[in-house]
Amino acid sequence: MIVRKFGGTSVGSPQQMKVVSEIIADSQPQIVVLSAISGITNQLERIAQFLHRRDEIQAGKELDQMQERYFQFIDELFVTETFRLQAKTVVIARLEYLRDFLRKMFNVLQEKALMADGELVSTHLFYLFLLEKGQKAELLQALNFMRIDKDLEPDEFYISENLKRELQPFAENQIFVTQGYICRNAYGEIDNLKRGGSDYSATLIGAALGAERIEIWTDISGVHNNDPRFVANTSSLPQMSFDEAAELAYFGAKILHPSSLLPARKADIAVWLKNTMKPEDEGTCIDTYYGKDGIKAIAAKDLITVVRVKSGRMLNAYGFLRKVFEIFEVYKTSIDMITTSEVAVAVTIDDTRYLDAIVDDLSRFALVEVEKDQCIIAIVGNMTTQHKGYAAQVFNALQEVPIKMISYGASNHNVSVLIDAQYKSTALNQLHNQIFKS
Ligand code: ASP
Ligand code: MG
């Protein structure tokens, strides 16, 4: 069994959905995990906002637009009137359910149910399309097996037991279609794995079944060695390790949901990143191997805030760092980079919701300085410290760029530097030229 996940743009148009149906028609037993049609989850989010404000008129307008888009999609996707009608009946029923929220109560619970709609529709349309083509397939309901626990973490035992039970009535060697992203929570309510969570669904399903491999199909040919939006002539990496990919996932969240590699890694299943627009491209294989020594990729993360905490009393004082970190913990704010000197510690965060409160609390025992609009540049690869020259290579390349923080040595797979956001493009390009062109 293999698992193939197709993202929103991969099913974003009838044309693309047809391409997906061809990609999966290679007679492999498989579970096909789909996202919502691109743009739909964003639209559902907008509708939820209107409903929270009790703006039924705008919410209703969005729903009408959504229905129109789905109908057009259906008219182009299917060739027979029978299937068009069947598909439209599905959409009408789902939208009726959503329109109920215009008249009834709307709170966080209903919002989660609303957010699940995109995947429920996309999978049903795709399933009907396969049937119209004469392709044997079964539609599995993720809400019957995908589940998170009280801490909002996937309940792996539940998922595995229930997914196997769902599959039991069917012969193994066929195509199953199911929803990404959506799940139930510990109370049995409809919930989700957070935005972009379909990748996570796919790896959880793969791990639950001990799949041969997991394929994540998007609109880019795997992991690039630098950010193509800022650097010309980037190329895609044929292979990288789970460790290296995890370092990058935080930066290239656009490629892969950051938690999604964990289940695959635990179950030792390779994850392939493939491009639906160019299925013939090899893509990137992420597995347990490190491959050759060297720097593999460069990535940047924006909107970073640095908090510098200085205290004369840190000198020879134990417990100072604990006091600092505890404050970030209280406000559930995770720290990304850390550097320390004998009298100061600097940390970076990307979630600034509680920044003011954090600064207030820190100011009780230290001098605090905050700088916004920073950028972390991460240099990722297999850089065993026995090997000389990695740091020199990075700093040589960045001679023209003022560096504010450096983090090196925590793992063999990452050198990170913090710079002012205005130097991001320069830094990415100079590193690229120095490291990959020499
Ligand atoms: N449809 C959801 C989203 O847009 C989940 C996903 O596509 O992964 O976030
Ligand atoms: Mg996605």
C-alpha–C-alpha distance, residues 91 and 254, integer Å:
29
Query: Do 267 and 364 share a domain, yes or no?
Result: no
Task: Evaluate: CB of 36 within 6 angstroms of ligand 1.
Answer: yes
CB 360 within 8 A of CB 393: no
Query: In degrees, to the nearest 5, what angle opens at C-alpha 170 toward C-alphas 166 and 171?
Result: 135
Which of 271, 289, 307 finishes a domain? Answer: 289
| Residue 399: both structure tokens together | 């001679």
Query: Do 64 and 98 share a domain, yes or no?
Result: yes
Query: Do 263 and 342 share a domain, yes or no?
Result: no
The answer to whether position 12 is within a domain reads yes
Between the CA of 342 and the centroid of ligand 1 the distance, in Å, is: 45
Residue 138: give its domain's CATH number: 3.40.1160.10
- What are the phi and psi torsion angles at 189 (to 5°)? -80, 155
Compute CA 289 distance to the chain's CA centroid, rounded to the nearest angstrom.
22
Query: Do 151 and 264 share a domain, yes or no?
Result: yes
Residue 424: give its domain's CATH number: 3.30.2130.10
- Under the phi-then-psi rule, with left for phi > 0, alpha for psi from -120 to 50, and beta for the rest, what region is 282? alpha
Pick from 35, 193, 204 the residue to mutate for probing ligand 1's pocket: most ligand atoms within 8 Å of its CB.
Answer: 35
Query: Do 357 and 280 share a domain, yes or no?
Result: no
Task: Evaluate: CB of 196 within 6 angstroms of ligand 1.
Answer: yes
The answer to whether position 231 is within a domain reads no
C-alpha–C-alpha distance, residues 248 and 380, integer Å:
7
Domain residue limits at 355? 296-437
The answer to whether position 124 is within a domain reads yes
Q: What is the DSSP string of 182-224?
A: EEE-TTS-EEES-TTTHHHHHHHHHHHHT-SEEEEEESSSS-B
Which secondary structure element, helix H or strand E, spans residue 6, and what is its range? strand 2-6
Question: What are the pLDDT tens digits along the chain (438 aa)?
Answer: 999 999 999 999 999 999 999 999 987 999 999 999 999 999 999 999 999 999 999 999 999 999 999 999 999 999 999 999 999 999 999 999 999 999 998 999 999 999 999 999 999 999 999 999 999 999 999 999 999 999 999 999 999 999 999 999 998 779 999 999 999 999 999 999 999 999 999 999 999 999 999 999 998 889 899 998 899 999 999 999 999 998 887 776 466 777 899 999 999 999 999 999 999 999 999 999 988 888 999 999 999 999 999 986 666 678 888 999 999 999 999 999 999 988 899 999 999 999 999 999 999 999 999 999 999 999 999 988 667 788 888 999 999 999 999 998 888 889 999 999 999 999 999 999 999 986
| Residue 69: both structure tokens together | 């888009």
Contacts of 259 (CB under 8 A, 6+ apart): 200
Question: Looking at residue 409, what is its pLDDT?
Answer: 82
C-alpha–C-alpha distance, residues 56 and 72, integer Å:
24
Domains held by the chain: number: 2
Query: Do 280 and 330 share a domain, yes or no?
Result: no
Beta strands in 181-270 (DSSP E): 182-184, 190-192, 213-218, 239-241
Query: Do 329 and 214 share a domain, yes or no?
Result: no
C-alpha–C-alpha distance, residues 392 and 183, integer Å:
47
Compute CA 244 distance to the chain's CA centroid, rounded to the nearest angstrom.
16
Query: In degrees, to the nearest 5, what angle opens at C-alpha 392 toward C-alphas 390 and 395?
Result: 110
| 254 alpha carbon, closest ligand | 2
The answer to whether position 160 is within a domain reads yes
The answer to whether position 330 is within a domain reads yes
Task: Evaluate: CB of 8 within 6 angstroms of ligand 1.
Answer: yes
- HSE (side-chain half, CA atoms, 13 Å) at 310: 6
Query: Do 133 and 56 share a domain, yes or no?
Result: yes
- Under the phi-then-psi rule, with left for phi > 0, alpha for psi from -120 to 50, and beta for the rest, what region is 258? alpha
CB 370 within 8 A of CB 307: yes
Which of 289, 314, 337 finishes a domain? Answer: 289
Which of 266, 289, 312 finishes a domain? Answer: 289
Pick from 126, 198, 200, 205 the residue to mutate for probing ligand 1's pocket: most ligand atoms within 8 Å of its CB.
Answer: 198
Between the CA of 200 and the centroid of ligand 2 the distance, in Å, is: 10
Query: Do 274 and 326 share a domain, yes or no?
Result: no
Between the CA of 76 and the centroid of ligand 2 the distance, in Å, is: 24
Query: Do 415 and 266 share a domain, yes or no?
Result: no
Between the CA of 11 and the centroid of ligand 2 the distance, in Å, is: 11
Task: Evaluate: CB of 181 within 6 angstroms of ligand 1.
Answer: yes
Question: Looking at residue 59, what is its pLDDT?
Answer: 98
Nearest CA to ligand 1 atom 5: 196
Task: Evaluate: CB of 7 within 6 angstroms of ligand 1.
Answer: yes
- What are the phi and psi torsion angles at 424 (to 5°)? -55, -50
Query: Do 348 and 421 share a domain, yes or no?
Result: yes
Question: Looking at residue 315, what is its pLDDT?
Answer: 62
Between the CA of 201 and the centroid of ligand 1 the distance, in Å, is: 10
Q: What is the DSSP string of 99-166?
A: HHHHHS---HHHHHHHHTHHHHHHHHHHHHHHHHHT--EEEE-GGGT-BB-TTS-B-HHHHHHHHHHH
The answer to whether position 164 is within a domain reads yes
Task: Evaluate: CB of 118 within 6 angstroms of ligand 1.
Answer: yes
The answer to whether position 241 is within a domain reads no
| Residue 212: both structure tokens together | 């041969």
The answer to whether position 247 is within a domain reads no
Compute CA 408 distance to the chain's CA centroid, rounded to the nearest angstrom.
25
Residue 281 Cα distances to 19, 217, 244, 275, 285, angstroms:
15, 11, 21, 7, 12
Query: Do 344 and 325 share a domain, yes or no?
Result: yes
Between the CA of 77 and the centroid of ligand 1 the distance, in Å, is: 21
Task: Evaluate: CB of 35 within 6 angstroms of ligand 1.
Answer: yes
Atom of ligand 1 nearest to the CA of 194: 9
